[in-house]
């Protein structure tokens, strides 16, 4: 079933940067952002952390916007956007997975994460827990008018 239950709300830049720091993204590692929106996280992973990154996004307009930015920054060799449903994309080669979805969607993603991710893969989720998984760190960040929680997991 195609799930399109999460609207586009971008993670604020400082929170996105903190997520990638918390996950200790290293040069050459592969980061997936499931529901990549305008591509901010995958572009940041490549530009600031030297990673390779794949975003999966269901909305065509956001895919197009991401591709424009990727081209503008000359990151075509390191950042890819898959236009599709993240439930249907194989993520088994991930080193790090980033999420900003909903607890209910994370719950539905959990069996996929458990089946596909290699042990040691880091999963970092903005604001929403993965039910049934125990985070190794939970950090709260105050940003402008609200606070954000970041949950770090290790598969």
Ligand X SMILES: C[S@@+](CC[C@H](N)C(=O)[O-])C[C@H]1O[C@@H](n2cnc3c(N)ncnc32)[C@H](O)[C@@H]1O
Interacting residue ranges for ligand X, rule: CB under 6 A: 3-4, 6, 8-11, 33, 35-37, 40-41, 56-59, 62, 85-87, 100, 126
- State which H helix or E strand residue 47 sits in: helix 40-49
Angle in degrees, CA 151, 93, 43, rounded to 5: 65
Q: For ligand X, which residue has the nearest CB?
A: 35
Smaller CB separation from ligand X, 1 or 119: 1
Q: Is 99 helix (H, G, I), strand (E, B) or coil?
A: strand
What is the smallest separation between the CB atom of 27 and ligand X, expressed in angstroms? 22
What is the smallest separation between the CB atom of 118 and ligand X, expressed in angstroms? 22
Smaller CB separation from ligand X, 86 or 153: 86
Smaller CB separation from ligand X, 60 or 119: 60
Structure tokens at 132: 């049934």
What is the smallest separation between the CB atom of 136 and ligand X, expressed in angstroms? 20
What is the smallest separation between the CB atom of 82 and ligand X, expressed in angstroms? 8
Smaller CB separation from ligand X, 102 or 119: 102
Smaller CB separation from ligand X, 119 or 144: 144
CB atoms within 10 A of CB 51: 23
What is the smallest separation between the CB atom of 28 and ligand X, expressed in angstroms? 22
Cα-based torsion angle of the residue sequence 7, 5, 96, 22 in order, rounded to the nearest 10 degrees: 50
Burial class (CB in 10 A: 0-12, 13-18, 19+), 39: buried
Give the separation between CA 46 and CA 72, rounded to whole angstroms: 13
């Amino acid at each position: 079933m195609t799930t399109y239950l999460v609207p586009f709300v971008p993670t604020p830049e400082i929170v996105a940067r903190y997520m990638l720091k918390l996950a200790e993204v290293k040069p050459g590692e592969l980061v997936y952002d499931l529901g990549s929106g305008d591509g901010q996280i995958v572009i940041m992973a490549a530009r600031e952390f030297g990673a390779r990154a794949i975003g999966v996004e269901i909305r065509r307009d956001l895919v197009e916007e991401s591709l424009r930015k990727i081209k503008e920054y000359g990151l075509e060799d390191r950042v890819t956007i898959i236009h599709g449903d993240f439930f249907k994309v194989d993520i088994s080669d991930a080193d790090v997975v980033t999420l900003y979805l909903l607890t209910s969607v994370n719950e539905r993603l959990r069996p996929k994460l458990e089946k596909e991710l290699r042990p040691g893969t880091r999963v970092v989720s903005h604001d929403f827990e993965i039910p049934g998984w125990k985070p190794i760190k939970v950090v709260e960040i105050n940003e402008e008018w609200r606070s954000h929680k970041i949950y770090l997991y290790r598969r």
